A and B are shown apart, each in its own frame.
Chain A
Amino acid sequence: MAQEHDADVIVIGSGTVGSNAAYELAKQGKSVIILEAGVRIPRWKLIESFRNSPRRTDYNGPYPDAPWAHTSASHAYVENDGSYAMVANFLKLVGGSTWHWGGATWRFIPDDFKMKSTYGVGRDWPISYDDLEPWYDKAEYEIGVAGNLGEDQSGVRPGRTWPPRAREFPMPAQKNSYMLDTFAKAIGPMGYEIVAEPSAMMSGSYRGRPGCVGNNNCAPVCPIGANYSGVFHADLAIEAGCRLITDATVDRIEKGPDGKIASVHYKSSDGSEGRLSARAFVLAAHGYESPKLMIMSDVGNSNDMVGRFLMPHLGLGVDFFAEEAVWPGRGPIQQGAIFSHRDGESRARHSGMKHAVNNFVANENITKRLLAQGVLGSELDARIRHDSARYMSLYSMFETLPDPANRVQPGDRTDALGNPNIRLTYAVDDYCRGAIEPCIADFTNFVTAMNGETLSMSRDLANHDHIMGTTIMGDDPADSVVDKDCRSWEHENLFVVGTGNLPSSSVVNPTLTAVALGIRAADTIAKEV
């Protein structure tokens, strides 16, 4: 007798990856339930919240942080017991953390997929760049990505479109800001080239979203929705027939007698509980929360690999006053990148890196700095104008290697629903530290090129909001969590998706790669249920 299920597929998490997977499944005719720990908050409400808040530079500021759905704003919720403190910003609401992102939608390059065989470090992926290329393409056209052909993102293949691509970007990149053009001209003679950042902040209208008009407020919240967020696909998924249940924190994944996953249990803030069954399950709850839930549920972890191999992007930053006014803040908050050390033999010795140029309006930081110096009155006005026009900042992102000692686990504290908090253990290795000096050398060149006055150039590694490796993909069931299709090695109807799948971190933002893998997994599931 056919078993009755609540849905063909249950997707846990309505962020960019979960919503894209749910939408793909619904388009292929599957019945889908999406469970989301947070609630849906309309953009206008978040904009009101942002405008009314004095915490303008806090990227979590406009968003809810509830005792039953904690975000990274609750520092007690994310605890560190390793030598290096990690906090990757994340949100809990329909659409997920891409509500407050910079829209960077890079592809990994082919060498990122074979770090072990090419450079003797890290791991190889169970799939190649060519395997993923059609899914990158699909993800880019779903999300809407603006970028330029003919640019080398590897840093060692000048003049070629790298990584290779089957067709053009959905839209061309936005025009460079004056600052970026000025900077490119200054560093060009030193051998540096600026590459347009593929961006989900669209250069023109796309799929019901207006094009970017330069509010320069991509994070914490784009006021017009030109910057993509997972909420677009959550809404598309609902239109395609998916059922979205909000305020539903999954606290247990239940195994059936046949080794398959039978159901999921969830709790709501009002104390109510639910249990739902399906033919297949997609765990897309976030790079910290997905492995935490698997460990809590004793699912897919008999090899003790879940939550391990935590890879962040670490990096340095520099800020300085350029000699001439460059007028930062026109256009999106980030636009161009420099790949002087991404690919090539140095990667066998130390992390590759991406340098990126910030482009936010500097007035607030400048004003705080001047007030701290005691500058007041008309001089303050004049100095704000002068300094804000000349302020430049760059940041770098270093790749990190997968080390099983770096991990995420359930902690000992509990939230309002009685679920454990997140405990992180991380230590920086020499491979990563080896990138500090080459990075500082580049930064020094950048300041010199602009005849700049350095404000800060620290050697302290900062972490960026990217989480990889925690539900790692591999071709050996002994040392990975999912196979090449994002399927749990232990439970054939459980698919774990998200940036946690990535076996290498590369130097670029991981979201597009996770969306490509998520849609690909959905396509696999659709053939089976």
Chain B
Amino acid sequence: MALPRTGLAAAAVALGLAAPALAQDSADPVAHGAYVARAADCVACHTAPSGGAPFAGGYAIASPMGPIIATNITPSEEFGIGGWSEAEFARAIREGVAPGGRHLYPAMPYPSYAKMTDEDVSALYAYLMQEVAPVDAAPAEKTDLPFPFGQRALMAGWNLLFSPDPGWTAPAGLSETEARGAYLADALAHCSTCHTPRGLLMNETAGDYLGGGSLGSWRAPNITPDTATGIGAWSQEEIVSYLATGSAAGRGSAAGPMAEAVEHSLSHLENADLAAIAAYLKTVPPVRSAVDSRAAPQVQPVALSDYESAGWVGNPDHAAALAQHGTTDGAVLYNAACAACHGVDGRGSADGHFPDLAHAAPVTSKDPSNLVMVIAEGISRHAADGYTVMPGFARDLDNAQIASLASYVSETFGGAKTGPSAGDVAQIRVGGAAPWILRNAAWLTWAGIAAAVLVLLVLIALVRLLRQDGRRAA
């Protein structure tokens, strides 16, 4: 099946066509816009963490090029979008160009929002302008990327290459439900922003659509229907449960950015819409990911440490032994820190309240990012089924210990041959390996300048030639 990817050519034709019916009541544009805002998860990025005013901006979106600070999108005339016309608003969210011609960075997922229907854009505008309280203040921080990424005009070229024209065309051959799911996943929930791997220029690579991408510290795993490395083995109900609650027993538990997506957006969507997304995900071309691998559980017996023998009251040796907690024996760490919930055998609890590690995606993935991040930061997720917590261990374990614990877990329960090193853990926790474009930014910049000079010289030469031709003709 053909999917609408980058460079969607038929968009102009599609404008206004095939607008998918919303499960939500469309009669009231403001209520409808509120639902669109939920589905597009505007609030997650446009609200500062720990108690910022909704939509007033301030959240720092981690990007390999540096933090990109989400802006104030409340209807404040001076600091927000209060002075924007609907057409200006539409251009910003679908084309990434704010009034005055200022280019946005695609941390704002306008390549996805480009596919939003006119009706939804209009409703979203109505909601933001009429329902959201204006906040007359700019976020405390401002986006300030290093050269050359600070040159926003560069994005014009990027957009030409990678951002589709505005409007929605459903992929061919889908049922009405699947088409609705495609619209929700692609135009609003912008799944591919994270779950599609990025190319050399940080573009989504069309051929690996939803095949799993890296977000720096976290990995957004393969969500195509590939049975071995994707979610092909998940039932429709399991996908819906995961989207609504962040958890599907025996499959996975959302952490990090996905927990945020569940908390702020997906858990608020109507069940019919979650079912539509699940149905659509079943239809996309399976991608065999080299990273998101599932292994047969090989649970091995684990070692327990010895009983204490020394006296302890007033014993400096006992006190000193307790103060020594730098061991990198993964089995010791697992048994003391993890086994109370996940079990010495890693099988969790029978009711799935504590996940079975042998079937937990972060454990069986070849990419240790999510395992490392979950151990370090834990899970803290509000969703339809309440508040779910796994405590984080960053305060109690150093990087070498997290590495040995992650190795023990992935080797013992996930069938891995080796786990991450302390260096790997350090790199994952600071945001992962730098992407190609960042590692090569310096010479690319000079190469780009050289290319521009070359093009200029060729143009000058051409102009001269043409003039000479003209003179001859004259």
Contacts and interface: CB of A to CB of B under 8 A. Distances in A.
B307 A67 contact: no
B443 interface: no
A48 B305 contact: yes
Contact of B395 (A45, A65, A74, A235): A235
Contact of A74 (B306, B313, B390): B313
A208 B305 CA distance: 29
17 contacts: A42-B325, A42-B397, A43-B337, A44-B397, A52-B308, A61-B312, A63-B322, A64-B323, A65-B312, A65-B318, A73-B312, A205-B389, A208-B391, A208-B392, A210-B341, A213-B341, A235-B395
A44 B337 contact: yes
B262 to A, nearest CB: 15
Contacts of A49: 308, 322
A408 to B, nearest CB: 20
Contact of A41 (B305, B322, B333, B390): B322
Interface string A190-209: 00000000000000111011
A506 B319 CA distance: 36
B316 interface: yes
A51 B337 CA distance: 12
B314 A74 contact: yes
A69 B314 CA distance: 9
Contacts of A74: 313-314
Nearest to B354: A213
B315 A215 contact: no
Contact of A44 (B313, B314, B333, B349): B333
B325 A41 contact: yes
Contacts of A65: 312-315, 318-319
Interface of A: 39, 41-49, 51-54, 61, 63-67, 69-70, 73-74, 76-77, 204-206, 208-211, 213, 215, 223-225, 235
Task: Give chain A's interface secondary structure class.
Answer: loop
Contacts of A215: 340
Nearest first, the 9 closest Cβ-Cβ pairs linking A and B are A42-B396, A223-B340, A205-B389, A44-B337, A66-B319, A64-B319, A44-B336, A48-B336, A45-B325
B146 interface: no
Contacts of A210: 341, 389-391
B353 interface: yes
B396 A44 contact: yes
Contacts of B316: 66-67
A382 B333 CA distance: 36
B335 to A, nearest CB: 7
A215 B340 CA distance: 8
Contacts of A76: 314
A93 B209 CA distance: 52
Given A39-B323, A52-B308, A65-B313, A224 B341 contact: yes
A52 B306 contact: yes
Most chain A C-beta atoms within 10 Å of own C-beta, residue among B319, B332, B349, B387: B319
Contacts of B387: 204-206
B64 interface: no
Interface in B389-403: 389-393, 395-397
Given A42-B325, A210-B389, A66 B395 contact: no
Contact of A208 (B319, B332, B333, B380): B380
Most B C-beta atoms less than 10 A away, residue of A52, A74, A206, A225: A52
B388 interface: yes
Contacts of B390: 210
A74 B393 CA distance: 32
B322 A45 contact: yes
B378 interface: yes
B315 A224 contact: no
Residue in A61, A210, A223 with the greatest tally of chain B CB atoms within 10 Å = A210
Interface string B197-240: 00000000000000000000000000000000000000000000
B328 to A, nearest CB: 13
A215 B336 CA distance: 14
Given A64-B318, A210-B390, 11 more contacts: A43-B337, A44-B325, A51-B335, A67-B314, A70-B314, A206-B387, A208-B389, A209-B391, A213-B354, A224-B341, A235-B395
Interface string B338-351: 00110000000100
Interface in B97-149: none
B470 interface: no
A205 B388 contact: yes
B173 interface: no
B301 interface: no
Nearest to B315: A65
A161 to B, nearest CB: 25
A236 B380 CA distance: 16
Interface centre among A42, A49, A61, A211 (most CB of B within 10 A): A42
Contacts of B349: 213
A44 B393 CA distance: 9
Nearest to A171: B387
A66 B43 CA distance: 51
A43 B313 contact: no
B157 interface: no
B391 A48 contact: no
Contact of A48 (B335, B378, B397): B335
User: Which of B304, B349, B389 has the most A CB atoms < 10 Å from its CB?
Assistant: B389
A207 B323 CA distance: 27
A230 to B, nearest CB: 14
A211 B390 CA distance: 10
Contacts of A211: 389
A309 B325 CA distance: 41
Contacts of B340: 47, 215, 223-224
A52 B305 contact: yes
A52 B354 CA distance: 24
Contacts of B306: 52
A284 B194 CA distance: 48
A398 to B, nearest CB: 29
Contacts of A70: 314
Contacts of B395: 42, 235
Contacts of A77: 314
A36 B91 CA distance: 57
Interface string B270-314: 000000000000000000000000000000000011111000111
B377 to A, nearest CB: 10
A39 B325 CA distance: 12
A49 B327 CA distance: 14
Contacts of A73: 312-314
A208 to B, nearest CB: 6
Contacts of A47: 336-337, 340
Contacts of B380: 205, 208
Nearest to A53: B308
A4 to B, nearest CB: 29
A47 B353 CA distance: 21
Nearest to A55: B312
B307 A53 contact: yes
A281 B353 CA distance: 45
B314 A48 contact: no
A225 B193 CA distance: 36
Nearest to A63: B322
Contacts of B391: 208-210, 224-225
